[in-house]
Structure 1
């Protein structure tokens, strides 16, 4: 029964990684850019949620929505200011810019509010439920449930709405989509907005789950989410979801067997193994790239 409990905890943690990984994979699928500033959007989401709850007295769900909206706007601004002019530049130029944006956001936040750690208010009653003899916390269930709902909404947007069809068209062939009358800039901005809003939600979940947040908190979860995206198949939305869940389960199992100091290393070991044996990821297809 202990293993079932750890499995549920791992899936809850993995759902947070999955939400962040979706932003990486959506942006890469559209413009082939690894947005390494995405972890900082996650951090901004955590702080917006914190100030909304602790400063303004909002409840969990209003704070979650505010964080998602703020991060969506923030993501669009990052794309508009930092990435749009580099769309036809070399990939290394865009990658260096993404790292620069990441550092800029981190140290701007430190300059504005200091580097001290904040403790999330206990906004959710953390009750224990006995399900078939397994003790499951209400926080884990809520995080998992809301994450799954957000992923279902994302799937609906991508496959059933006009902007989702535009995203898929731009991802497949940007020039052909432009010739068909699709506004490529608007579509890319919408992609950044949706991916960033999910990272904002993940930031609030992370704050509630781990209670402590600080300006450099986006680095490790951001890298782990990138590993999750690569594990599932970078650019493939279901792959990011599955990769995040698997990574969360692996981390929880590593901690459960007494190797908690290795939980961060586990993500990088997985990344090395994936790059060695299946670079395209679980859902990816091996394709040759012409040079």
Structure 2
């Protein structure tokens, strides 16, 4: 039972972590919240569904297609909302309001295109496959989801540490002024950051839909709240903190279902977050003098 619940918690937490890391990346670079991220997550799930359903292509290609499409939506949010408002001299928090409006537009379009009914991914070889290990029956789909999530996180870590783009992102996260002084093309780096953030959200959308066999235009609302929770829990702008925070939240939620029932899952999860923030207001992995990224 312990092993079973551990895998359940890690598979759920891995999806939280991938989504929240994209959230954190934009916050670290621009110090604003992109509240359209939940809608981008939802569109990624639908793109993946179309790829495996209508086009009958393999699941890995569906994840890639969803990531690319969601990344382009992330770029759209930068060009239409954040950059436009910045050039017009709006307060940076107006971008949060603008991104929320964009999210509702994307949800409305999804309702018209895909309908409002909850749909599911078609059956695949992983859907019913399981592995018996030490008396626990582990679903292959859960293990694949954990592996895919960790692969995306590792790819992002390598991007940030080993590439010129990653170094540029980290420089701008520290100071946009410093970035411009050393010749970094800030506008292009910001577009790349939004693309990566959206791609992570799209990949997370496919993984979530596979785990819960549920796709709807409103599926991004709940994950948006979880992403905000993990963002704060791990420390604002801290990518590693978002990874650990996402996994921790997933484990706590699954543990609470076993201990007190599913009705208290959110109460226990958010209660833990509240307790941690009372003890450490900057989050688990931030210093008192919080730096972006």
User: Under TM normalisation by the shorter chain, which class is it?
Assistant: over 0.9
Number of the residue aligned with 1:282? 284
TM-superposition CA deviations, 1:255-285 (whole Å, max 9, x none):
1224201223334323433433322111111
Number of the residue aligned with 2:57? 58
Q: 2:166 & 2:178 partners in 1: Cα distance?
A: 16
Q: 1:105 & 1:153 partners in 2: Cα distance?
A: 28
User: Over aligned residue pairs, what C-alpha RMSD do you find?
Assistant: 1.6
Following TM superposition, by how much is the alpha carbon of 1:123 offset from its aligned partner in structure 2, in angstroms? Answer: 2.4
Q: 2:132 & 2:252 partners in 1: Cα distance?
A: 24
Number of the residue aligned with 1:129? 131
Question: 1:218-257 to 2 correspondence within 5 Å?
Answer: 218-257=220-259
Following TM superposition, by how much is the alpha carbon of 1:32 offset from its aligned partner in structure 2, in angstroms? Answer: 0.4
Number of the residue aligned with 1:49? 48
TM-superposition CA deviations, 1:30-54 (whole Å, max 9, x none):
0001111101111000000111111
User: What TM-score, normalized to structure 2?
Assistant: 0.94
Following TM superposition, by how much is the alpha carbon of 1:288 offset from its aligned partner in structure 2, in angstroms? Answer: 7.2
Using the TM superposition, name which of 139-148 and 86-95 deviates more.
86-95
Aligned length: 288
Q: Is the 8 A contact 1:224 1:267 kept in 2?
A: no
Unpaired runs of 5+ in structure 2?
A: none
TM-superposition CA deviations, 1:211-256 (whole Å, max 9, x none):
1110000000111022112111120110111011001101111112
Following TM superposition, by how much is the alpha carbon of 1:98 offset from its aligned partner in structure 2, in angstroms? Answer: 1.9
Following TM superposition, by how much is the alpha carbon of 1:118 offset from its aligned partner in structure 2, in angstroms? Answer: 1.0
Using the TM superposition, name which of 195-204 and 87-96 deviates more.
87-96
User: What TM-score, normalized to structure 1?
Assistant: 0.94
TM-superposition CA deviations, 1:119-169 (whole Å, max 9, x none):
211224232212233321111110001111111111000010000000000
User: Which segments of structure 1 move beyond 2 Å, counting only runs of 4 or more?
Assistant: 85-89, 111-114, 123-126, 130-135, 264-277
